[in-house]
Amino acid sequence: MSRFVLILALFSGLTFLTPAASAQQNIIHEKQSLYRNIVVAQNGSERCMLFRARRGMGRESCKDMANPKEFVFRYASMMLGSLFLNPSPERILIIGLGGGTLPEALQEMLPDTTIHTVEIDPAVEQIAYDYFDYVPGPNTQNFISDGRVFVKRAMNAPEKYDLVMLDAFEADYIPEHMLTRDFLEEVTQVMTPDGVLAANTFSRSALYDYESATYQAVFGEFYNVKYANRIVLAKRGGLPPMDVVRENARIWDVELRSRDANPDFVLPIMSTRVDWDTSIPILTDQYSPSNVLNTMSRR
């Protein structure tokens, strides 16, 4: 079995549309960028940005144009569970822009907070502006860069981030150079001493055990937030106890409910239970996801 076939067989957290399903949607824009084929499609009031993958189209970002404040995907609510670990971050870094769902929500919720977004593909940024009504706020700045390159450069900057969100995806999964211990250790260097990390991953994949072991090696205990996706919530200096998490959640209760993001959904699925093979090797720049998948394909 080839590596590519194995990826398609074992990564099941991303929503894909088959060619038949894609045909049912109204395609309103197509763009072949330097990195990917991008489609913007609409079904009723729901508008989605899709990347062409090896099995149809992968939905990267969606917005209900009739109810723009409400989240279409549950994972966005889960990512904002990071505010339950620190309810008032002053500086936020978001790697992966998509349609701008997360930065748009955060700049409305935290108007005085500095937000930096990083997106490798300028075509994605332009589509966010043109088709998803994304408008950066006065304290939001977008950077066109590979996320890891941006982090490496930011390591020497005096200003650090209270919250880092990793939400960068290719058509099929997270870029593999953003899955390794080496990268996550670099991320810690741009975080404040008690900074919070929120990482969007899959709840089921061939790499689940490896990813989990890698996050644990860098951050120690973390909150696993699993529904269709899996969000890793980690904090430098150790996690706050759940009674503090619940108290912080109450601060944002009304605002999150207005976005159809009920804290009562997120809190019960936050767990520190170790549900992975702890003897599995961690991912490094030398032992990367491609190494793992190639090894598995030869079994």
Q: How far apart are CA 258 and CA 236, in angstroms?
A: 30
Given 146, 167, 182, 285, the catalytic residue: 167
Residues 263-280 as b/e (b if ≥16 CB within 10 A, e otherwise) read beebeebbeeeeebeeeb
- Output the six-digit token pair for 269: 């699925």
The total number of residues shown for the chain amounts to 299
Closest to 93 in 3D by CA, of 183, 189, 163, 178: 163
- Output the six-digit token pair for 119: 């997106």
- Output the six-digit token pair for 152: 């490496």
Q: How far apart are CA 224 and CA 208, in angstroms?
A: 12
Q: How far apart are CA 178 and CA 155, in angstroms?
A: 16
The angle formed by the CA atoms of residues 89, 91 and 92, to the nearest 5 degrees, is 90
State the residue for tokens 């999964």. Answer: 173
CA–CA distance from 53 to each of 8, 15, 64, 137, 276 (Å)? 9, 11, 23, 32, 28
Q: How far apart are CA 294 and CA 83, in angstroms?
A: 38
Q: Would residue 130 show up in a list of annotated catalytic residues for this protein?
A: no
The angle formed by the CA atoms of residues 262, 268 and 269, to the nearest 5 degrees, is 95
The angle formed by the CA atoms of residues 121, 126 and 130, to the nearest 5 degrees, is 150
User: Would you say 225 and 233 are in contact if contact means Cβ atoms under 8 Å apart?
Assistant: yes
The residues annotated as belonging to the active site are: 167
